[in-house]
Structure 1
Amino acid sequence: MLDDFLIRAALAGVGLSLATGPLGSFVVWRRMAYFGDATAHAAILGVALALAFDLPVTFGTLVVALAMAVTVATLAARGWAMDTTLGVLAHSALAFGLVAVSFVPGARTDLSAWLFGDILAVSRADLAYVWGGAAVVLALLAWRWQALLTTTLNEDLAHASGLDPARERLILTVALAVVVAVAIKVVGALLIAALLIIPAAAARGLSRTPERMAVLATLLGAGAALAGLQLSLWQDTPAGPSIIAAAAILFALSAMFGRVRRG
């Protein structure tokens, strides 16, 4: 019989994958990897502010991640050089967050959990946040799926179809902020972007349609979460990094399979 904390951890990993699979596909298609990093790194500042003002950590990370995502999206729309801008914002947000955490009594000892995740300590309330956040992200993406695909394919085509690319970017921005807020307890701020990108990248070479890629990315993400938990229990390794390591192995296997299939 599995212990309750293992069941909660497995459910958290699977629930998070429901959101990171389809959203990660858009991150890969739109080359938003560094955008995800900047948003995730800003979450540490949200953790510090939430602890300082005795607010729910999920709320604090959501507000700060959303503020960072909107800032980046606004600068991108104004033509700023994104590689440099994202580099400055991502590392500055992480640095300010780490400095702010140092002023919060008792927070230093818990810092590694926010940086690398602590999925084995997920509570029932955390589980509700994860599945609730995943439901919000899935609803947003399902609602605007075709519009998001059209905008991703070609913004001129989106304009011709009566769509507003800026609005679609905002929807992705909100979805990304929600994922960051609910994922920080599972894999930590430093690894959220990896959970978005790696399963989607693994699914890309095995899929012929966007819908199949999103579904396969979800399955690979869930498989990586369960395999990472098993590795963590088996070898006593950190759970968050173990999940990302399992995802990386799945990516390598998918790349080899894709090469054999093409050959």
Structure 2
Amino acid sequence: MNPLDFLGLPLMACLLLIVVHCQFGLHVIQRNVIFVDLTLAQCAALGATVAFMQGHLPGTLGAYAWSLGLAWAGALALSLIRFAPKNVPHEALVGVLYVACSAGGVLLIDSAPQGAEHLKQMLTGSILTVTPEEVLKAALIYTPIIGLLHLASRRGWMAGNGGRAWLIDLLFYAAFGVVVTSSVAMAGVLLVFSFLIIPAVCGKLLANSLGRQWAWGIALGGLASLGGLLLSLWADTSPGATLVTVFAVVLLLVMVVPRLVMSVAVRRHAVWLSVRTAAVAVGVSLAWLAAQPRADQPLLDVAEKAMPALQSVYMRTDERDAIADSQAYVKRYAGELDKLSERERNSRWMGTDDDETVRRISSFQQSYNEMIKGEQFVMQETRARARERLRWPVTLILMMGMSGYLLRNRLPLRR
């Protein structure tokens, strides 16, 4: 099956969300209320949690009404922030509203069945399982809102003073709440915030006019969405978290790459700095290996995972075979553990098994966990014993490298 056939609808949903949220994001950045989207999204998520506790299924009218109601309540609170004392930063009050809604959601689902799954759903969403009906409904909601926002921006209706300014803020946040309520149900709180801020910031960095900033944000957001969905499918990771990570990487590239392209000196400095940083990291890792060969060695672990043949440099054949056997057993036990966990979730949620069967499943899970820990201990001990043999060769290499550095940089050389 072609991956694009499977990812076509999620990609369409991402593009729709980016088109709308990038436009709102440009206005949010202009108003300097960056975390408004995150706060309104959390208000909508709190409403969805209240609906979940009352038995309303996701996607139903009751769940949408609760989410929209709490989002509009948050919009009213945000519009009143402009009347706060001048010595109180507005962003501080926005943050207080966000953490209050987050804490309220955690308190509500703390004792609920499948509460952790609901919380994860609210944070990362389920963009891969979006339906055509959800995309069509969101498009019908977004189209008039984005049209009115564009018209208000063109005619200068977004500016005002006194009571008119409060009314403009209230209408802006209320429209934003309608958008966010639909967006959170599809994409989750974190991804909605990424759609709002990151494409808009990329547009700000690459263009000056509002129209070009919007175009750049949509283009880069679409590329990031396609890359994130493909990476999630290939690596079998959470699509929401993967998309957020890819969007952050795209923003980093937009900030760094133009500077590197424009200046040869900057490119040379960046390359030289990267080489020196890598050399320092390798030196520190070797020193740590010489001092504590049995301790965790992050850099060496990463190198061995990228190049498994590196273990043959310091491990004997029997040690490599022992580690390979333990890895095979860990994979087997983890597979059995996943099957038991899936059955336990179905039993607790759907009631397919009695209490005695559930207790037996839990007992088997503990047994498999203990066996996995035993195999991991075997791998760790085998690796530690092999690395202990590296202590003196590594110490000798460090001493030779330090001596060469001192001779090169400290002692005067004759021509």
Which category of TM-score, normalised to the shorter sequence, fits these structures? 0.7 to 0.9
Structure 1 residue 71: Cα displacement: 0.7
State the distance in 1 between where 2:245 and 2:134 align.
Answer: 23
Structure 1 residue 85: Cα displacement: 1.6
State the distance in 2 between where 1:187 and 1:64 align.
Answer: 18
State the distance in 2 between where 1:150 and 1:171 align.
Answer: 10
User: Deviation string for 1:142-187 (max 9, x for gaps)?
Assistant: 2312245862xxxxxx45xxx9333332232123212321221343
Residue of structure 2 in register with 1:133 after alignment: 141
CA pair 242-106 structure 1, distance change in 2 beyond 3 A: closer
State the distance in 1 between where 2:43 and 2:139 align.
Answer: 22
Residue of structure 1 in register with 2:245 after alignment: 245
- Tell me the amino acid that sits aligned with residue 114 of structure 1: M
State the distance in 2 between where 1:96 and 1:245 align.
Answer: 27
3-state secondary structure, aligned to 1:114: helix
CA pair 30-260 structure 1, distance change in 2 beyond 3 A: farther
Residue 111 in structure 1 maps to residue 112 in structure 2: no
- In structure 1, which of residues 69, 74, 84 is the aligned counterpart of residue 92 of structure 2? 84
Residue of structure 2 in register with 1:259 after alignment: 259
Residue of structure 2 in register with 1:155 after alignment: none
User: Deviation string for 1:43-78 (max 9, x for gaps)?
Assistant: 221111222252533333222112112212112234
- Tell me the amino acid that sits aligned with residue 43 of structure 1: A
Paired positions, count? 255
3-state secondary structure, aligned to 2:188: coil
Contact 1:21/1:215 (<8 A) preserved? no
The alignment yields a C-alpha RMSD, in angstroms, of: 2.6
Moved more, 137-146 or 74-83: 74-83
State the distance in 1 between where 2:261 and 2:9 align.
Answer: 37
Q: Percent identity at matched positions? A: 24
State the distance in 2 between where 1:150 and 1:221 align.
Answer: 26
Q: Could you tell me the TM-score, scaled by structure 1's length?
A: 0.85
Moved more, 163-172 or 200-209: 163-172
State the distance in 2 between where 1:71 and 1:90 align.
Answer: 11
3-state secondary structure, aligned to 1:205: helix
Contact 2:48/2:66 (<8 A) preserved? yes
Between 1 and 2, higher relative CO (CA 8 Å, sep ≥ 6) is seen in 1
Residue 124 in structure 1 maps to residue 132 in structure 2: yes
Contact 2:80/2:166 (<8 A) preserved? no
Contact 2:158/2:168 (<8 A) preserved? no
Residue of structure 1 in register with 2:32 after alignment: 31
Contact 1:48/1:100 (<8 A) preserved? yes
- For 1:86-235, list aligned pairs within 5 A: 86-102=94-110, 104-147=112-155, 151=159, 158=160, 164-235=164-235
Structure 1 residue 89: Cα displacement: 1.2
Contact 1:20/1:218 (<8 A) preserved? no
Larger radius of gyration, structure 1 or 2? 2
- Tell me the amino acid that sits aligned with residue 256 of structure 1: V
CA pair 140-103 structure 1, distance change in 2 beyond 3 A: farther
Structure 1 residue 24: Cα displacement: 0.9
Structure 1 residue 10: Cα displacement: 1.2
State the distance in 2 between where 1:224 and 1:169 align.
Answer: 31
Structure 1 residue 91: Cα displacement: 0.6
CA pair 146-9 structure 1, distance change in 2 beyond 3 A: same
State the distance in 1 between where 2:4 and 2:214 align.
Answer: 31
3-state secondary structure, aligned to 1:97: helix
State the distance in 2 between where 1:204 and 1:93 align.
Answer: 30
State the distance in 2 between where 1:121 and 1:114 align.
Answer: 14
State the distance in 1 between where 2:261 and 2:155 align.
Answer: 32
State the distance in 2 between where 1:114 and 1:191 align.
Answer: 10
3-state secondary structure, aligned to 1:164: helix
Structure 1 residue 261: Cα displacement: 6.9
> Where does the alignment leave 5 or more consecutive residues of structure 1 unmatched?
152-157
Q: Could you tell me the TM-score, scaled by structure 2's length?
A: 0.56
Structure 1 residue 106: Cα displacement: 4.3
